[in-house]
Chains A and B, each alone.
Chain A
Amino acid sequence: MGPAEIKETILDILEGIAPDEDLSGLKDDVPLREQLELDSMDFLDIVMELRKRYRVQIPEDDYLELATMNSTVNYLTPLMKDLEKV
């Protein structure tokens, strides 16, 4: 999976977490928290969903890497490069 597919995956997960939000105008370099109503439980759900779908492990100390879409994709790229998108 490359960066574009990883971004798609994250958007798909976000859609499940924030079904009422419009994600089309999301800016990749602005913290997700500033654009969406996300709390710490929502970030936990992203982590759980990634593990469920791809068995990707994100340790608690790395949750900060999920701040923006860009930082999330950058962080996940090496972890997910050998995985197929489902």
Chain B
Amino acid sequence: MARDFLKGARDSYDCIVIGSGLAGMTAANTLARTGQSVLLLEQHYKLGGMATWFKRPGGHIFDISLHGFPVGMIKSCRRYWSKEIADSIVQLRNIRFDNPMFSLTTTFNREDFTRLLIEKFQLPEADVVAFFDAARGMNFYDDQSTTVGELFQKFFPGREDVIRLLMEPITYANGSTLEDPAISYGIVFSNFMSQGVFTFEGGTDRLIDLMHKELVTSGVDVRIRCDVEKILVRDRRVCGVRVNGRDIAARSVVSNANLKSTIFRMVGEEHFDRKFVDDAQAVRLNNSSCQVYMALKPGSDLDESLGDLLFSSTAPLFRTDALLSRDITSRTYSFYYPRTRPGSDRSLIVSSTNARYEDWAKLSKEDYEASKRDLVETTIDALARYVPDIRERLAHAEASTPITFRHYTQHLNGASFGTKFEGLAVSRAIPEQVGGLYHAGSVGIIMSGWLGAMNYGVIVANDVDSWLLKSATRPPLAATT
């Protein structure tokens, strides 16, 4: 008989959280700490969502999305998780750029960027200060019609090199383009510029393991291999979920799954107003990614002057559509030295590029495999520019594509960074449509990435907690089917 992954689960909870990405886990933990009973359901066999890793024979451990996050993670981990987690966050100090327009190394914070923009890019100090202040002053309620491109034209007209410096890392971090609203750029950029780029010592596996333990301590009922088929709604109120063939009741549900699959696949559009359905349909998903994972032979060290993160490109100009093209000219390398995982003797390199799902989905099985091999080979060739004897030193290399990302997270089109800006308003409006139903997960650019997802989880947990208190004063819902 198949194993019952829901064995011992109760028939009803205050809240069911669907998905254990950083937003889902943080929402679950926050709610459990306020005293609510919480069931966390994850379809995969491990927790973390995109915050994940994989192991290969020979002892290689690859991180998928641990390239860097803003300093704000320290505070959020401290407050919503634990001191031990917060204390493992360390800065990455060597961020490099290498492209036909410039080559430089930076600590990637406001002070150093200001210095570079004045000394290396020869900009007047007043313009640089004004730009940083404008970016930092942006908030969610500001005008959304100004685009990133217009923002740059206002402060640095005609300076393609400056735009490249300011934009390329953010495009990698969240898929945003020059056509996206300036405020989403301003918020994310300022988060990074506050103190630079940080990482988690010990790797993603250690982080997720610590979080898992914390969830259990907080009293969350954590279940893996539980694929939620349906969110149950009656009279415009959520009443539970259908999972692994069983119905479980809940007074509230938080979906950490993709925004569109939540609305259209798990709930069904018949439970929403026409206008809302139209808005939800119009939400654009963000792009996906390709990655190449390379492990060096044990004990084969990388020279730390390679940096921690290297934004490399052979394209003469920075163009967001060129970043998505299968004809890859731009790659971001993350160099992981043994110190990333104290006690390890491994050096690893992960190359990331933005990619379009359609480009990979249309390939035949054979072409797909061939393209994947080609991706690995061309990446190693490109890397030889920085690590000349890379081929001889490699112990393992493999690639992932948008198809891989979709497979593991069930995100439509393998979207790496959730939705474009408009997704946030749709995500926030769900509870107005279906009482007790919430969405928390990468949306709207500003709520994506490790920090954005985590904080969004807290914001939504606050809404849920408030709803639970309000709805507790009404007659309790009968257990449902």
Identify the A interface with B (CB < 8 A): 17, 41, 44-45, 47-48, 51-52, 55, 57
Contact = CB atoms under 8 A, between A and B. Distances in A.
B245 interface: no
B465 A48 contact: yes
Interface string B455-469: 100110110011001
Chain B binding surface SS class: helix
A19 to B, nearest CB: 9
B342 interface: no
Given A41-B458, A44-B462, A45-B79, A51 B470 contact: no
Contacts of B75: 41
B35 interface: yes
A52 B458 CA distance: 14
20 contacts: A17-B79, A41-B75, A41-B76, A41-B455, A41-B458, A44-B462, A45-B79, A47-B462, A48-B34, A48-B461, A48-B462, A48-B465, A51-B34, A51-B466, A51-B469, A52-B34, A52-B35, A57-B466, A57-B469, A57-B470
B462 A55 contact: no
Interface in B63-121: 75-76, 79
Interface residues of B, number: 15
Contact of A44 (B34, B35, B458, B469): B458
Contacts of A44: 458-459, 462
Contacts of B470: 57
B194 to A, nearest CB: 10
A55 B468 CA distance: 11
Nearest to B459: A44
A74 to B, nearest CB: 22
A51 B468 CA distance: 11
Interface string B440-481: 000000000000000100110110011001100000000000
A52 B461 CA distance: 12
Contacts of A41: 75-76, 455, 458
A55 B462 CA distance: 12
Give the 6 A-B residue pairs with the shortest CB-CB distance, closest first.
A52-B34, A48-B462, A44-B462, A41-B455, A57-B466, A55-B469
A48 B460 CA distance: 11
Q: Which of A17, A44, A48, A55 has the most CB of B within 10 A?
A: A48
Contacts of A48: 30, 34, 461-462, 465
Nearest to B139: A40
B233 to A, nearest CB: 24
Question: Among the interface residues B35, B462, B470, which one has the most CB atoms of the partner chain A within 10 A?
Answer: B462
A44 B462 CA distance: 8
Nearest to B79: A45
Nearest to A18: B75
B134 to A, nearest CB: 18
B444 to A, nearest CB: 15
A51 B467 CA distance: 11
Interface in B18-38: 30, 34-35
Contacts of B458: 41, 44
Contacts of B462: 44, 47-48
B169 to A, nearest CB: 22
Given A41-B76, A48-B461, 13 more contacts: A41-B75, A41-B455, A41-B458, A44-B459, A45-B79, A47-B462, A48-B30, A48-B462, A51-B466, A52-B34, A52-B35, A55-B469, A57-B466
Nearest to A52: B34
Contacts of A45: 79
Contacts of A55: 469
A23 to B, nearest CB: 17
B89 to A, nearest CB: 16
B49 to A, nearest CB: 21
Contacts of B30: 48
A44 to B, nearest CB: 6
Given A41-B76, A45-B79, A51 B465 contact: yes
A17 B80 CA distance: 11
A47 B35 CA distance: 16
